[in-house]
Amino acid sequence: MRYWLMKSEPDEVSFADVLKAPGKTVAWFGVRNYQARNFMRDQMQVGDGVLFYHSSCAVPGVAGIARVASGPYPDASQFDPASHYFDPKATREQPRWISVDVTAVEEGRYLPLSDMRGVPELEDMVLLQKGSRLSISPVTPGQWNKVRELMGL
């Protein structure tokens, strides 16, 4: 089992939205970074743990715990000309972008990014590295356990 931090802008899809979704499951769409795509395509497996992170908001932070609920499949938004995520180079025969489904598991205390900084067990976390902007990044088991502890889970 692996662990991941996955960033979502809460005005697009928040953890509360996932909790309200049928089966508490949503498609993780709109990833347009090749390294993040490759994580989903090549390394994520059903059952992997996810730190659901709210980004591009007033108080960024970990909003909940989720799990990967499907294998990779083509992101439908790449084919929709009306979508912000449309990619004219993508074809159904050769899709460029991937989605996975994510299911909400539990909601603890919202853990702001500012609270994560300075925690020794998290100092090597990709999220906290200078210049890191990846929307999906791996998390070590120790980091996973510490974040859950800080969330009161």
Tens digit of each residue's pLDDT (9 = 90 or more) over 89-128:
999 999 999 999 999 999 999 999 999 999 999 999 999 9
CA atoms of 17 and 7, how far apart (whole Å): 14
pLDDT tens digits for range 65-90: 999 999 999 999 999 999 999 999 99
pLDDT recorded at residue 32: 96
Share of the chain above pLDDT 90, in %: 97
Q: What CATH number corresponds to the domain at position 115?
A: 3.10.590.10
**Structural domain count of the chain:** 1
pLDDT recorded at residue 120: 97
The answer to pTM > 0.75 is: yes
Provide the residue range defining the domain that includes 89.
Answer: 3-150
What is the CB-side half-sphere exposure of residue 93 using CA atoms within 13 A?
A: 0
Q: How confident is the model at residue 37 (pLDDT cuts 50, 70, 90)?
A: very high
What kind and span of H or E run contains 20? helix 15-20
CA atoms of 77 and 30, how far apart (whole Å): 7
CA atoms of 105 and 85, how far apart (whole Å): 27
